[in-house]
Amino acid sequence: MSQDEKVELMVDYIMKHCLWQFHSRSWDREKQNAGVLGKTRELLCDEDVTLETPADRCYWVDAMVLADAYRARFAWLQSMTVEAKKLLMDALHQRLDYLTITGSLNAELTDKRY
């Protein structure tokens, strides 16, 4: 299975099961995507997770759920190296940012009055 196919499976899970992707402003989505996916990456790569701020802890909770779901659904994650997982998570982050921010047709995201 190619990396693109893996990314699409991971995106599909987020789109169907994760409410955190639906912030109404682009800057909120950028922070949320970076926070949750960053913590998910740390968890999947067995790295120490930073929990210094309330935001860190909030992202960590969503990341725990996402990492557990990914481990349960995608057996191929277990056979990947740490470096491959990092590259995969980077690709996932780029794809999710495109779908939810830069490629989104939702005009609310850029409404200055909102």
CA distance linking residue 7 with residue 50, whole number of Å: 25
Query: What's the confidence (pLDDT) of residue 102?
Result: 81
CA distance linking residue 102 with residue 70, whole number of Å: 25
Q: Which residue has the tokens 């210094």?
A: 52
Torsion of CA 11, 105, 59, 76, to 10 degrees: 10
pTM of the predicted protein model = 0.90
Residue 17: alpha-carbon gap to chain centroid: 12
pLDDT exceeds cutoff 80 at 100: yes
Query: What's the confidence (pLDDT) of residue 113?
Result: 64
Helix (H) or strand (E) holding 52: none
The model's pLDDT over 38-61, given as tens digits with 9 standing for 90+, comes to 999 999 999 999 999 999 999 999
Query: What's the confidence (pLDDT) of residue 26?
Result: 78
At 47, the amino acid letter reads E
- Calculate the alpha carbon distances from 23 to 30, 41, 97 in Å: 9, 21, 12
Query: What's the confidence (pLDDT) of residue 27?
Result: 78
46: left (phi over 0), alpha (psi -120 to 50) or beta: left
Q: Under a CB-based contact definition with an 8 Å cutoff, are residues 44 and 77 in contact?
A: yes
Query: What's the confidence (pLDDT) of residue 22?
Result: 74
